[in-house]
Structure 1
């Protein structure tokens, strides 16, 4: 009995001892972690400044600093590409050529009526003065009317063919009609018949409204003023000896003020306005959709490699499947993208009464944009988006397989910015650094979209050619990138278990 009591007391004292040790352990986090580690359990959480996290804090702060510095440098470098696109517009704006074609008094019967031309020489001299000045201005090019057979329609054709961004034509009868108005009292005289401005704002609405229109408007205002001053001074001098001039001037005051004007012909207006996303910001989503489709389809492709109740597919056949599946996906996704423009009633079905390249498109009576291919316009537009998605998307697929996460996000930013900088702005007015943009795919998607939707000068052969070349090169690289991704995946697994 005594021995039994002693054992019981010993058993009671032992739990008390363990209880005290447990309480002591809770007073020291390090001892508790040691006990739990010895028992095989996970270590308990500790405070941020715990001594055992010293090396972790040092490593984390070092990597945080390096990562932040790298991202800052990336932002400065890549975003500067976009900001710098229009950095030297004033310097390069002369690349936007404007024809000034003087036909005033150059052909019969206006070159034999005994009146020296006034309007043409004054306007061409003004153009030469602007070019010679130190003020940044457009590329005013004085061209002889003989180069166009003294036919204003041929000048319009040159603008349509993108030989110039716009043209100012001084009509053959500009000065003759002024003399006729005052000598004969012609009350039907219209100053707007003296000169004509031709342009196409849908070729590049940013160029036209931001850079060209303000300067051309100022040019026409100054030209009207100069001609008005010179002409009125001549009339007043002759009126001192010819009373008929005074009577006729009273009947035809528009022959003195403003004397001349400029009829304006926008051959292909930028209309309807819902086209704006189709040729600008909306195309960014063509890049984004093609980029993110990679992550959506990759798990589907890998099902062929996981032996879950079936043998894995040979890898080279998986590569073929992936390429075919990717191109097929682009085929359908580009159709969905194209349907958006169709849903918002952009004209794809023909019917605009104006088909002439030198006449202004009708945008009244329910008519909108002139499609470039009649009833085949939508299929052509779809195919442009399809090949554009191949060019943009396969590049994303290849880069994603090479660099992996998280670098693919930086690639997307780089890819969007470099394409947008050289597609939404005219490369001719950008610094020469941006001339690589002539090889980038989105530039040709934008250009082709404008040609299709506005019936512009046709360069679709070039546009499709560049996009197909991008697709071909990336298709050749595609299997190599697939094999590299497999090698990298196996290498990382080996390193993990090493």
Structure 2
């Protein structure tokens, strides 16, 4: 083999502006321009999905509903007392908050809508019919008047009303919008109620009665906060948010790791190639088994960090900390959800990788992550209407199902699994076509 000297090698190379490269240079610049502008278009269209889901959050805050229900004097044995406290509190709330813009909507409801049962309101909050509820208790007027007339030192202002919410439903929305609104509501009600109550006491001559307990004069009323399903502990956060991105990434990268192993079955040096139908069946079944194993180890992470998986479900109208929906079987259900979720996320990625190939499959992964994160981690109630498709996106259903299993929130587990199985089914149907396209591209490349 002849080895070229350095000066001879220099004679073989030419500068990039050489006339000999004129046609090739134009071709390279054209291809470069096409790729760059395709990437630019991808940035504008796909990366905008993330910003778009938050673009109308403040304008859509009215979509967050808070009920105000006054049970004061609405049931026995308090229905023979003229309600005073409940109507005043309700008037203050509706006067200050009903017309407020860029804030949750407060809706006044009658106790008859709930058969005069405050527990029915709690149940509605648990079932996610509404984000929160302000309940004025049936004995509000009775208990405060009794404290004034009898001088009972056991009077508790917090027994006048209750605020019910469910932070495990969506901790970000609650901590950012619902709970601050409820705090403002409490502050304004207590601030405005005090002078009215003192004036009422002065008008009937009770203000100077030494028997009246101090708490019946100030603050006189209060609110008991009831978080039916608290979002806790903090270590659970990755299991219902950013940690779920790992499901997408692991499922995606399983394909390039496993594909060389699959190809050995079609390597003529190893023997006669496997029938095409059997090859497809092998690849699908091996994917299911791989996702089954990988999802198990993924599910072990929250278990290893102390997140409970064996607590009883508990009452839907009482505060339950980490009430697991399926008791001691919750870990198995959680594992199955992650398995089906990983399959629903992974099979479409494998199909796209076969259809478009490298390096374009990286753009698919970017789109798949952004579209799932945008619709899975952020409240669609506050998103523009365009994002309604997010309700059937895989990660949204995995997040919803995980919250049910880990916190005992309102269950839609049948819908969650149903949507995920739908993705799996469609991906299986498309799998042979994607494989055929990949084979055709491989043959064309060899030619």
Pairwise TM-score range, normalised by the shorter structure: over 0.9
Compute the displacement of 1:192 (Å).
0.5
SS at match of 1:263: strand
SS at match of 1:117: coil
Whole-angstrom distance in 2 between the partners of 1:374 and 1:134: 42
Whole-angstrom distance in 2 between the partners of 1:173 and 1:400: 65
Residues 86/27 of structure 1: CA separation in 2 closer, same or farther (3 Å cut) = closer
Residues 313/410 of structure 1: CA separation in 2 closer, same or farther (3 Å cut) = same
Aligned position for 1:7: none
Q: Deviations over 1:295-337 (max 9, x none)?
A: 0111111111110140111112111111111111111111111
SS at match of 1:336: helix
Whole-angstrom distance in 1 between the partners of 2:17 and 2:231: 64
Q: Mapping of 1:208-357 within 5 angstroms? A: 208-239=174-205, 244-248=206-210, 251-350=212-311, 355-357=314-316
Whole-angstrom distance in 1 between the partners of 2:140 and 2:131: 23
The gaps in structure 2 that reach 5 residues or longer are: none
The answer to whether 1:82 aligns with 2:50 is: yes
Compute the displacement of 1:482 (Å).
0.9
Alpha-carbon contact 2:264-2:270 (below 8 Å) kept = no
Compute the displacement of 1:434 (Å).
0.5
Alpha-carbon contact 1:267-1:359 (below 8 Å) kept = yes
Cα RMSD for the two superposed structures: 2.2
Compute the displacement of 1:347 (Å).
0.8
Query: Bigger relative contact order, structure 1 or 2, given CA contacts below 8 A and separation 6+?
Result: 2
Q: Deviations over 1:33-82 (max 9, x none)?
A: 3xxxxxxxxxxx44444444444443333333332222122112212110
Residues 237/328 of structure 1: CA separation in 2 closer, same or farther (3 Å cut) = same
Compute the displacement of 1:139 (Å).
2.4
Compute the displacement of 1:238 (Å).
2.3
Compute the displacement of 1:140 (Å).
1.5
The gaps in structure 1 that reach 5 residues or longer are: 1-21, 34-44, 363-368
Aligned position for 2:345: 392
Compute the displacement of 1:286 (Å).
0.2
- Segments of 4+ moved more than 6 angstroms: none
Compute the displacement of 1:492 (Å).
2.5
Aligned position for 1:95: 63
Q: Mapping of 1:30-109 within 5 angstroms? A: 32-33=11-12, 45-109=13-77
Compute the displacement of 1:27 (Å).
9.7
Q: Deviations over 1:266-306 (max 9, x none)?
A: 11111121110000001001001001111011111111111
Whole-angstrom distance in 2 between the partners of 1:177 and 1:468: 54
SS at match of 1:98: strand
- TM-score in terms of structure 1 length: 0.85
Q: How many residues align?
A: 444
Q: Mapping of 1:127-276 within 5 angstroms? A: 127-130=93-96, 132-239=98-205, 244-248=206-210, 251-276=212-237
